[in-house]
Structure 1
Amino acid sequence: MTIMSLVRRSAAASLLALSTSAAFAVPAHAASNAVPTYEVKINLTVAALDASHNPTSAVKSAFGITGSANARSYAYYDTNPLELNGEGWDVRLRHKSGKSFEETYKKRWPITNGDINGALTTANNDGFDSSDTNYDCEVDWGYAKQTLSCATEKSHSSSGYSGTALPTSDTGRTWLVNDIPGKLTDWSASGWGKTILKASRAHGPVTSKVYGGAWGASDDASIEVVPVVGADGTGTEYIVELSFKTDNYNDAATLHNDAIAVADAHGWLYHGDILKTQLVLGRY
């Protein structure tokens, strides 16, 4: 056999090996978009509250609120220029009476013109997809605004803390830094999130009252009354948020339309969206 024949045979064998490996290779596919749940959030005016700043009996009856008030306190952690929030991240420490502390790390994306799938695709490109079981994704559906969020939650013992008491700003920050998830740690650069969170402080706290019930297609209805310092830094302003949770888009759309109609008919509806996170970050 000539040298040229050997070269040809070797080349043919190489091509066969390449074609065989290509035939049996498993193509790589990106994970699908996350599947969100829905929370309808409608703000009410103070006309929905009685003289003690509790929902009136008429409001409770109209929206299936039957539970007594449960208190919770929370603070958001960010730097003074709100660098985390500027990147769409919110970090919250919350304490419900008799429960462990909840540490929540949440990433947000705007939803434009109702394009939920578009926001989910953006989240997917940012690494939040159906394969990541550490994060729960939700569409927050307000009066006129929709936002997609994906959040992970961790807990910290509340031993030594009574009621809904929160730790000092320094202590809370230490807990949150120690438990920071990887996605936030390296968000825009290696170690960026941890560096920013180490420089953060507590914005708050606020202590709200939450009343639960069930209404329409949602067995998780609630009214939260949040007292916050006034815009000028004095006095108290009461934020009233009516919310309903559901796993189904059509149910969420129905709840959204019906809640607005009922609240508007009774003169309780606030015609706009009040974002509690932004309010607390901006006023404390």
Structure 2
Amino acid sequence: MTIEKKLEEALYESCSDAFYFSDDETSLIEAEYLLTVNAAKKVRELNVCFGDPYKIFLEHSTESFSTNCVPLISKVPTKTRFPKSVSRKGTFNTTRDGKIDIAVYKNTGYLSVPHCAIEVKGFNPPKPKVIEDLERNIEYFSFKGNTGQSLLDKALFIALHSYKKTMTDPKEQANLDKVEKKYKGYLSSLKFPAHVQYKVKVFTVRRGLVPDPQDPYVQEFGLDGTEDYHFVGAIIAFEKINLTNNLRVIPNALHSQFKVGLRGYGGII
């Protein structure tokens, strides 16, 4: 089971949960905070025990995450037969400073290193906000310091989109095609490092049908909240091409260096 699959489950679950907080399922409450918590909880299900293999943080500092993307320790050659250990110098941060919705660190046996950044948006996010998150997700792959290049494996973006008047399968497919085309258009305007690829996945989360207005039950009791809606989920994944074991750049890291490697992270779940 992958993190992407767990995020897909979170999108389904969040739409179902949101119905409990709305008296009309065609006009749901803002779902971003609900989706963020559900997504983090779903990723946590991948752990075999607390914090293993993933440590998950909500509203995590971009500076902490960016700095930790660069290896803490590396071995560099010397004029002798013995390589020299060097420690990471300085700090790093994204152009747009702030908080990552969900930051996932992976336990390597020595210390935890950034594995995945997840940005979350609710229904129908505006283009500028989407572009901001996508650009920042790309930036994490570009950091480079005296100990080597970014260790990050992947960065993910998830969002929901809603449509009305979706009474036929062709209309449902047209909505899916529209969302996919929208994100591919966004991505075509962005600059990617040569070692990063992207994937776009869109899918139906939930679809309701319009009841017959002449139905005696509808005329007596009114609409029951299942009329005319289509909710679409979108997952945009950025990954390194031909992933290798980047953790080799931090051999012999001491257990005592664990807290040094993680700069001021926030709430763990």
For Structure 1 versus Structure 2, the TM-score category normalised by the shorter chain is under 0.3
TM-score when scaled to structure 2?
0.22
Structure number with higher relative contact order (C-alpha < 8 Å, ≥ 6 residues apart): 1
Question: Highest CA radius of gyration, 1 or 2?
Answer: 1
